[in-house]
Structure 1
Amino acid sequence: MALRKLRIWEFSKNRQPVNKESSNTGSSGPMESSQQLQCGNLSYISSGNSCCNGTLTRGLSQLVADCCKSEAYNPLNEICCNGSVFTRTSAHMTCHSTKELKCGSETYNPKEEMCCSGSRYRASVVNKCCGTDIYTLFDDHVLCCNGTLHINVSKKSECVGGVVYSPDNSNCNLSARPRLGEHCCGGETFSPVTHICCNGHSHNKTNGNLCCGSNVYDHHKKFMKCCSGHLYNLTQYNVKAECCGNLLVNKTNQTCCSSSTNAILYDTKPNHHCCGHYYYNTSLWSCCAQHLKPTPSPNSSHAEDGLKPLMELIPDICNKTVFFGKVESVALGPHKRHIVLKVVNVVEDPWLNVSLDHCSSPVLENGMTYLWEKNSNVYKPLSISFDLISDIHMFFTVCKHKCQKGG
């Protein structure tokens, strides 16, 4: 197959973003956006589906899948040889007829080509990937925001998350200040006394006081659930449903694997376990501290439940003994990770020494703050790292109301 031509004004014909105002991500950290993509005539979300040459495969995320012609597959446990998918018999299994690296379902030479999410282009030091597309650093009129390429934008345009702000189209933007005393919400001004701003969309506070993506909701209503910027009405689902990124999990036949960067939904399979956001066959791989190794070990312990955005833990977490702890230092022992924590909401003697099982516990980063649970003398991290000020305010707002109601 010939290399794709460098045309920054064209999107992939098989996977092109559909710009929707409701597709903005929420405040729940680095989880996958709820933006819908297009695969042929079908719309889909990449955190739970894949698109290969115009054919949609459901149940396998595009973030961890490769294409074998028109079939999506999990390269951890399967291999594509001559256009057909085979189950791996070992982690080092290769196709005898294949000698270069794979980009999607095709081979490519990384010295001459670059691979952008399964699409091949000619390599250049001034070319950069943006999702499946490519752009050049010399072009002042393109902007890559969260993996989506925007074309014909102003030179002064900037990304804020997945939103493009342009001084040419709005009075509320990054380059121009609104009038004295006014606040900006997207391209309009609003009053924070009566309204709340959610990803550039203003809502009356009578409809709720918490944001979920571009929407607002009332956290007192137990049938509303926010999953990484996507708001669900649980009266249409199981009221005990849990989030997996921006999707809801059906625990009877689905498994959610999460890391600090992604939450991916998989169809449940026997002898498979999560390693971060990857779902692996235990006969092919082993996992330690969210790192896969092609050396299966029958006695290896499997990771506990992954960390979740703080928003998804409340209000259930209000009934537990929890605290906000900042990781100050980490030392690795033979089987344990020894962590020095600074408790954020304690003034006197805020230091704690915590030991976690190295392989089965999530990876934590120095200098980042997490929500922790204390059960007897056992400490366990619960949340992914978060924005300290806004998320602690949200936590106390929801839990204070629950305590006042006697919940």
Structure 2
Amino acid sequence: MEVYASTACLTILCFFATFFAQGICVHDKRSHSNTDFNGHMAKSHHLQCGNESYVSSRSSCCNGHVTNGLSQLVADCCGSKAYNSLNEICCDGSLFTRSSAQVQCCGKVMYLPMTHLCCVENNVTERKENHGCCGKESFDMTTHICCSNTLTVKLKNESSSDSPRTYMGSSPGTRPLPKVPEFKCGSETYNPQEEICCSGNSYKASALTMCCGESIYTPFDENVLCCNGTLHLNVPKQSECVGDVVYTNSTCHLSARPRLGEHCCGGQAFEPHTHICCNGHSHNKKYGNFCCGSDVYNPHNESMGCCSGHLYNKSEKECCGNLLLEHNSNKICCSSSTHAMLYDTKPNHFCCGHYYYNASLWSCCAEHLKPTPSHNSVHAEYRLKPLTDLIPDICKKTVLFGKVESVALDKQHRLVVLKVVNVFKDSWHNESLDHCRTPALENGMTYLWENTNNGYKPVSIPVEKISDIHMFYTVCHQHKCQKEG
């Protein structure tokens, strides 16, 4: 049984009553990558780089210098310059465009390990069968040996006071000792047996020390209360948390104390029948009944959208994770189930998940990169978007929420078994997707699927919350009723 987003208002209202009364759609509590994606969308912290401030989703920091336009999540540093290591390589402080995905550095030059050797003193020599490095020269290992004390080549029947060594790598040396595991707290190391890490800050701790956001406290602190990651000091005894609000003697702890039974929104009371509370700001519901950060908005307004808590004009911009992409700009959005990135567009470059690659160096299939470029390679046809970014246009189409139960590969097609989660009884769908052109999907995760001429295709990032599905059908129901009215 498919669910049509554009069915009659009465049908959807009946669907709501049965769907949520029976609790058919169960929230998947597993911690998966889409949680990271939603968290990435919601957070855009300003960090310090030298004397400058930057946002890691938009820029990178290398040795105290900011490089704009390339996220630190996909960048490496070459001195003070950030670069995309998929398509460039840093050799001894100098940046070069990769001639192949397999190239490596030999001092200040690039070389291909399949065809050449990098010997001592960064001497590049042609690779020959059964040849290795001895010092800065290559030698035939079938007829000669390399003695480590002088790094000279001797015939195998000549004696050597040192045990012979053969060097196939870039230079001789001893194998490094295995590293002792390090625990990171922010950018610093810490000892979890003696310290506790709270949002990137480490503290000396006892067994009863607990985190509250970036701060610490213990149960012995009688006048301290932690509510939703905020530590409240000097609160009266017997105080309680209700969400992020402190109640003292059944009274909301606000600058203007409301009457008993009234709801708190920020520092004031509000009436939930007529108003909506968005991040501590009260708004009249006549302007909308959904929050976008601290603002209120109406999803039926086809010109306005919500991107990571910020309202934007859809005719001018689109949402890319927690960033806004201006139309007709020279940038492109690449996204996966975990991240979304903006890149400057370049010829013969394409998206592979949230990476942006040179098709002359790499090939991409189902968001997996391989250093094997092909003249007949295919590219992703579309990217998955947040549910809110699809509304209200998707309300006009036939959709379903399907949970991926099983995936199999059959030549160039990915066969997916879907369990439809928004019907009265279990319903199953079998879909065949183009393997390489379709975004990667995770077993056990629920997506919004759109009906096309070739069957259903996934269109949203993973959906975990029943509230998201409820929001989707509520908005589409209201949208349909407005059209009919």
Instruction: Using structure 2 for the length normalisation, give the TM-score.
Output: 0.64
Question: For 1:387, which of 464, 479, 483 is the aligned residue?
Answer: 464
- Is contact 1:60–1:265 with CA below 8 Å preserved after alignment? yes
Aligned partner of residue 394 in structure 1, secondary structure: helix
- Is contact 2:37–2:337 with CA below 8 Å preserved after alignment? no
* Aligned residue in 2 for 1:172: 241
- Is contact 2:190–2:202 with CA below 8 Å preserved after alignment? no
* Aligned residue in 2 for 1:212: 292
- Structure 1: 5+ residue stretches without partners: 1-25, 100-107
* Aligned residue in 2 for 1:13: none
1:263, distance to aligned residue in structure 2 (A)? 0.7
- Counting only pairs closer than 5 Å after superposition, residues 1-400 of structure 1 correspond to structure 2 as 29-32=38-41, 33-40=43-50, 42-97=52-107, 111=179, 135=202, 138=205, 143=211, 150=214, 152-155=215-218, 164-166=229-231, 168=233, 171-172=240-241, 178=247, 179=250, 191-199=271-279, 201-232=281-312, 234=313, 239-252=315-328, 253-347=330-424, 350-400=427-477
- Structure 2: 5+ residue stretches without partners: 1-34, 109-117, 119-175, 251-259
Does the C-alpha gap of structure 1 residues 398 and 159 become closer, same or farther in structure 2, counting only changes over 3 Å?
farther
Aligned partner of residue 86 in structure 1, secondary structure: strand
* Aligned residue in 1 for 2:12: none
**Greater C-alpha radius of gyration:** 2
Q: Which amino acid letter does the alignment assign opposite residue 350 of structure 1? A: S
- Is contact 1:243–1:312 with CA below 8 Å preserved after alignment? yes
Distance in 2 between residues matched to 1:89 and 1:159, nearest whole Å: 55
* Aligned residue in 2 for 1:4: none
1:66, distance to aligned residue in structure 2 (A)? 1.6
Instruction: Point out the more displaced range, 200-209 or 68-77.
Output: 200-209
Deviation by residue 1:336-370 (Cα, 9 ceiling, x = unmatched): 22111122223366211111122221111222111
Distance in 2 between residues matched to 1:27 and 1:295, nearest whole Å: 30
Does the C-alpha gap of structure 1 residues 115 and 168 become closer, same or farther in structure 2, counting only changes over 3 Å?
closer
Aligned partner of residue 72 in structure 2, secondary structure: coil
- Is contact 1:116–1:134 with CA below 8 Å preserved after alignment? no
Q: Which amino acid letter does the alignment assign opposite residue 216 of structure 2? A: V
- Is contact 1:154–1:168 with CA below 8 Å preserved after alignment? no
Distance in 2 between residues matched to 1:118 and 1:154, nearest whole Å: 20
Q: Which amino acid letter does the alignment assign opposite residue 230 of structure 2? A: Y
Instruction: Point out the more displaced range, 212-221 or 247-256.
Output: 212-221
1:110, distance to aligned residue in structure 2 (A)? 7.8
Does the C-alpha gap of structure 1 residues 358 and 141 become closer, same or farther in structure 2, counting only changes over 3 Å?
same
Q: Which amino acid letter does the alignment assign opposite residue 293 of structure 2? A: G
- Is contact 1:372–1:379 with CA below 8 Å preserved after alignment? yes
1:205, distance to aligned residue in structure 2 (A)? 2.9
1:217, distance to aligned residue in structure 2 (A)? 1.9
Paired residues in the alignment total 361
Aligned partner of residue 172 in structure 1, secondary structure: strand
- Is contact 1:173–1:186 with CA below 8 Å preserved after alignment? no
Percent sequence identity is 58
- Is contact 2:401–2:449 with CA below 8 Å preserved after alignment? yes
Distance in 2 between residues matched to 1:314 and 1:41, nearest whole Å: 41
Q: Which amino acid letter does the alignment assign opposite residue 272 of structure 2? A: P
Aligned partner of residue 433 in structure 2, secondary structure: strand
Distance in 2 between residues matched to 1:404 and 1:327, nearest whole Å: 32
Aligned partner of residue 467 in structure 2, secondary structure: helix
Distance in 2 between residues matched to 1:239 and 1:53, nearest whole Å: 39
Deviation by residue 1:232-287 (Cα, 9 ceiling, x = unmatched): 2x2xxx72521111222134311100011111010101111111101111111111
Does the C-alpha gap of structure 1 residues 326 and 314 become closer, same or farther in structure 2, counting only changes over 3 Å?
same
Deviation by residue 1:135-168 (Cα, 9 ceiling, x = unmatched): 37847778596xxxx2x433479999xx623364
Instruction: Point out the more displaced range, 168-177 or 87-96.
Output: 168-177
Distance in 1 between residues matched to 2:297 and 2:37, nearest whole Å: 15
- Is contact 1:167–1:175 with CA below 8 Å preserved after alignment? no
Aligned CA RMSD, in angstroms, stands at: 3.8
- Is contact 1:303–1:359 with CA below 8 Å preserved after alignment? yes
Instruction: Judging by fraction of residues, say which structure has more helix.
Output: 2
Distance in 1 between residues matched to 2:290 and 2:234, nearest whole Å: 28
